[in-house]
């Protein structure tokens, strides 16, 4: 068993460990369609369990991120969620990029993995580009 706290889910821990510079990983709500060829780390248990922000925080604790993409529609449909996401990336000095949702879904096709939460807030999805720690 791991001594230090961190990602306890074995599949998610493996995916995070395998990420390389410029690989992408999606943290999703319960409804985002995940492309067939993208590994699915499905952590959804029931509505809003786990919450998207808890899962995002877990990933951000372990992954160096250099790029963030969201759906443009989050601005209109889920402004409170957007504010919470912005707060996290402002602390990291990262600027958010927005794409129309149809383009966002296309952009997920090349992701290394998708980590699915139980979140029922519309458009609570981010596509993260892995950076380097040096």
- Show which residues are catalytic: 21
- Residues annotated within the binding site are 29, 101, 123-125
- Residues annotated within the binding site for substrate are 29, 101, 123-125
CA atoms within 13 A on the CB side of 76: 6
Instruction: For 94-130, give one letter per residue: b (16+ CB within 10 A) or e.
Output: beeebbebeebbebbeebbbbbbbbbebbbbbbbbbb
Dihedral sign (CA 79, 83, 132, 25):
negative
- CB-based contact 94:39 (threshold 8 Å): no
Residue 39's beta-bridge partner residues? 113
């Amino acid at each position: 068993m791991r001594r230090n706290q961190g990602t306890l889910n074995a599949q998610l821990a493996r995916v995070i460990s395998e990420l390389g510079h410029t690989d992408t990983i999606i943290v999703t709500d319960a409804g985002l369609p995940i492309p067939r060829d993208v590994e699915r780390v499905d952590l959804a248990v029931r509505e809003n369990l786990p919450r998207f922000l808890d899962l995002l925080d877990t990933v951000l604790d372990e992954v160096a991120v250099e790029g963030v993409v969201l759906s443009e529609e989050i601005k209109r449909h889920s402004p409170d969620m957007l504010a919470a996401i912005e707060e996290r990336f402002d602390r990291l000095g990262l600027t958010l990029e927005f794409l129309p949702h149809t383009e966002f879904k296309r952009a997920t096709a090349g992701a290394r993995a998708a980590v699915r939460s139980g979140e029922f807030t519309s458009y609570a999805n981010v596509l993260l580009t892995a950076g380097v720690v040096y």
